[in-house]
Each structure stands twice: as structure tokens, then as C-alpha cells.
Structure 1
């Protein structure tokens, strides 16, 4: 990966690491425009100030746009949301593996428990 590509990835990650940024993109991923209030409910737990800041950043990055109907993803934002579904699929498999590993650890007898007095 070139230095230019790495810089682009870091820039995108910096944006997406902002609190609620990915949740906003995810909430808009169904393609239906949402009003500010509906989007706030969809994202859950976000204050109006934080949501407003996030929307300004995502609009400046050309991932979200505002039309007369509400907020919606731009074509670039929609592509990012489609790629996030791959992360969703990975997360499902990862969570299953985590649960299995936790069950295996719980089923293994503790060395201290096997010692007799």
C-alpha cells in the first residue's frame, strides 16, 4: 500500500472513529431519508449536539447529504455502508467464536479446584 493510500485509510478511520459516525451511516443504510429527530432515535443515545456535529462532518466528507426529505447517504456513503455489511458478517462469526471460547474456558476445570487439602 502506498503512503498516499495509507493516508487515505487513516483519514477515513479518523472520521469513522468519531463517536456515532458509523451508527449514523448504518442507520441511513436502508436508503430511506430520515429527519434529524428520526435519525437521533435510530442512532440511539446520541445528544442533539453530537449528532449535529457528526452530520456536519459526514456531510463535509460527502458521505451524507440533506435533502428536503431528510438526511440520506450519498453514493459514496452507500458504498461504504455496503462494505460495512461485510464487517457485520465477520462480527457475527467472530461473536460465535468468542462465545465458544468462553464456554470452553468455563468447562475447563481450574487447577486450584483439582488440588486436594
Structure 2
């Protein structure tokens, strides 16, 4: 698995530890943040792989959208994270331009499901 730098949950900016180095995540915390990042990524945003991300501009924001479509998009985004083998959406809210919810993921490295709030 790749290294994940910790992002501040309020600003989504990198976190620097007391030693002056970037803080990294492992285990469940890494999976949680990586899933959140996958769901927050706009399709086409990643210049190294513009197929990643959710189609916010193309198919979600500014138009009526079926909850089944949103559910599938969130689950597919979660499944792009290495080691995630399953994703079940348990809560989803869209208000204006803000999508929030909870997805429970299973991984190939843990027998305990991981709850991810995004």
C-alpha cells in the first residue's frame, strides 16, 4: 500500500507533526482517509489519471439525480482504494453542492468492517 499523508479533517490540508515532518497514516485511519479522498475527487481532477473521481460536474451537481446512481458512484469510488473489497452505503445526503454520508468498507487486510464518514 502507498503512503498516505494525513489531511486535517476541517481544512483538508496536510498535517505537520511536532518534529516538522508530515504525519502519515496506517491501518484503518489510512483506509478511511483514502476512501474519503476517492469520494471527494472530481472526475478529471487527477492529471496523472483523469478517469479517477466521481462525475460531479457531468452527472451530479445542478441536476436531478437518482439516489441509486449516487449510491453506485460512491461505492465504485470506495472500491478504487487498494485493499478495499466491498463497500456498502448506509447514509447519503446531498444538499446544494455538498455530498455527505457514510459508507462501510471491507478490506483484504482486516476482518473488521471500517465505517467511513465523508
What interval of TM-score do these two structures reach, taking the shorter chain for normalisation? under 0.3
Structure with the bigger RCO (C-alpha within 8 Å, sep 6+) is 1
Q: Decide which structure has greater strand share.
A: 2
Bigger share in helix:
1
The structure number with the bigger radius of gyration is 1
TM-score by length of 1: 0.25
TM-score (norm 2): 0.25
